[in-house]
């Protein structure tokens, strides 16, 4: 099973709906229009549309597979505590620099560090999961070992 947050599931279902209801029909129309241009061997529009169709169908299969093998975890249905688990939003501070940063621990397909979402499989998340507010942890980074303190755990 592949864990995914409720928000991640909603995002994938919306993408799947768009691919099936908007993109797929648009591509089918583009292929039909390109066929009207004649000789398919040298028809760039036809080949481009077929390539787009192939990519879209592959993405549809990928999303359907992910949704069928995912375990959706809605953090809002879990009794809040100060323990870090999958789906929690965690604020940690670098004890040397006194700089705080907030991350939400999410599934691998949802991870986007620029948006503060880190995969549960990332080194930092692995260190955080199971810890509590106030705990200290050391994380090995390319620049050396960094000590963090867990300031806050939110079940949002």
In this structure, the strands spanning 70-73 and 2-5 are parallel
Find the range with the poorest average confidence among 62-76, 80-94, 133-147.
133-147
The CATH number of 2-73 is: 1.10.287.180
Give me the residue label for tokens 């300031």: 151
The CATH number of 75-154 is: 3.10.50.30
Phi/psi at 90 (5° precision)? -120, 130
Query: Model-level pTM?
Result: 0.81
Strand partners, 137: 148
Instruction: Please list the residue range(s) of the chain that carry CATH number 1.10.287.180.
Output: 2-73
Mean pLDDT score, 111-116: 94
Instruction: Please list the residue range(s) of the chain that carry CATH number 3.10.50.30.
Output: 75-154
pLDDT in tens, 36-78: 877 777 788 899 999 999 999 999 999 999 999 999 999 999 9
Q: pLDDT class for 126, splitting at 50, 70, 90? A: very high
pLDDT in tens, 1-40: 789 999 999 999 999 999 999 999 999 999 999 888 777 7
């Amino acid at each position: 099973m592949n864990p995914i947050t409720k928000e991640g599931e909603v995002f994938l279902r919306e993408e799947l709906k768009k691919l099936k209801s908007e993109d797929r029909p648009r591509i089918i129309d583009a292929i039909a229009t390109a066929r009207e241009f004649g000789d398919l061997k040298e028809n760039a529009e036809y080949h481009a549309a077929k390539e787009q169709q192939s990519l879209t169908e592959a993405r549809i299969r990928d999303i359907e597979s992910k949704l069928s093998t995912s375990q959706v975890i809605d953090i809002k249905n879990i009794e809040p505590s100060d323990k870090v688990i999958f789906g929690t939003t965690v604020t940690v501070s670098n004890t040397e620099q006194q700089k705080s940063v907030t991350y939400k621990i999410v599934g691998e397909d949802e991870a986007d560090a620029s948006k503060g979402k880190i995969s549960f499989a990332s080194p930092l998340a692995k260190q955080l999961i199971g810890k509590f507010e106030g705990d200290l942890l050391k994380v090995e980074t390319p620049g050396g070992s960094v000590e963090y303190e867990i300031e806050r755990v939110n079940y949002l």
